[in-house]
Amino acid sequence: MIARTHDVAAFTALMAVVLSQPLHSVTLATVVAAVLANQIGGIAPDIDQPTAPFWRNLPVGGIFGRLIARMMGGHRFISHSILGLALFGFAAHWLLAALHPIIPKVDIGLVWWSFMIGMVSHLIMDSFTKEGVPWLLPIPWKFGLPPVRRLRITTGKNIERFVVLPVLVGLAIWLFAQSYTEISTFTNQYIKR
């Protein structure tokens, strides 16, 4: 999937999880950090691709991208597996714990979960592509949905751009519309500034 699809999928997954849980008081800083972490999690598995937007937007990203890609075994290898999910989860938890003294009003637990939701959404979305995902590394089998490869989506082609992406956007809008009253009440009563 392309980066835009991963961004929307990560946010939609975050909305679905948040709206399925009882809402509780959080700081505005936590909300902002959680959405940012979710979007980073949504693209984090592609850190193993030197041409990913993440690397293209850094001044010397190409050099670092190639180095990281080699360290991770290439695109759709470690970072696209349960093992990679665990490694990224531990790294994100460590980083958030280290940053917590600087950002004490941010609930790092919620931010971490938002990051992980983004990561999982990335792996699920890539499972729908022809390439599939090696969920069970070090076992090198790539799994895809549906199991028949020719029925899966080709990354960046019209099915993704004109069907999958609009469906995800529509789902996010629908989730928001269905919960508008709760979101509005929550925003007015529970978000501490």
**Predicted confidence (pLDDT) per residue in 52-109, tens digit:** 877 887 778 878 888 888 888 878 889 999 999 999 999 999 999 999 999 999 999 9
- Residue 1: name the closest of 147, 176, 87, 118 by CA: 118
When pLDDT is averaged across residues 120-131 and rounded to a whole number, the result is 96
Structure tokens at 50: 């030197």
Identify the pLDDT of residue 190: 65
Residue 127 has pLDDT above 60, yes or no: yes
Q: Where are the domains of the chain?
A: 3-45+76-192
Residue 132 has pLDDT above 70, yes or no: yes
Residue 23 has pLDDT above 80, yes or no: no
